[in-house]
Amino acid sequence: MKSHPAGLPSRVLLWLTVAFLISTSCVKQESFSIIPEISFREFVRVFDTGQYAVRGILSFYFQDGDGDIGLNPWDTFPPYDPAGQYFYNLVISYFEKQNGTWVEVILVPSYSARIPVLTPENPGKAIKGFIVDTLILNPAPVFDTIRFDVLIYDRALHQSNLISTPEIPLTRP
């Protein structure tokens, strides 16, 4: 009997493969709305030697019923053109707590980004997971408490729900 490089006999490997295929074919496929849905996971502050956080790592969960989240690098024609509303499919708004009131601050460049295509070989299938984005923070902020609002668009231009991070103090604990 031939042996697999990992030491398993070929028949055992074949049966494991068959068992895996049978078990996954019996698993009920999850069904979600074709409108993407997101939920906050966490925001981790990263400090260097200074008093203020220099980076933040934002992560959130997502799910989409038809799996059409993400854009290719060449997706730059309308409606995904650089001057259009849908160029960025990850829209992140920045807020500072100024004298007790949340104020949106328009930054250039913005924190918004382009999520790459997540399902290049399986279009039309429900997907879920989490997205992580590292954000460069102001190393000398005027206000020391911020938050972010986040939403995503899929390729069909369906807008997800809007999520907000909790208050984020920029100073060391």
H helix intervals, 38-101:
none
Task: Kindly state whether residues 92 and 60 are assigned to the same domain.
Answer: yes
Task: Kindly state whether residues 43 and 24 are assigned to the same domain.
Answer: no
Task: Kindly state whether residues 55 and 93 are assigned to the same domain.
Answer: yes
CA distances (Å), origin 79, targets 83, 86, 114: 9, 6, 14
What pTM was computed for the model? 0.81
pLDDT at 6 over 70: no
Residue 26: per-residue pLDDT = 46
For 2, the domain range is 1-29
What is the count of structural domains for the chain?
A: 2
Give one word for 67, left, alpha or beta, with left for phi > 0 and alpha for psi -120 to 50. left
Task: Kindly state whether residues 41 and 111 are assigned to the same domain.
Answer: yes
Task: Kindly state whether residues 84 and 124 are assigned to the same domain.
Answer: yes
pLDDT at 82 over 50: yes
CATH number of residue 155's parent domain: 2.60.40
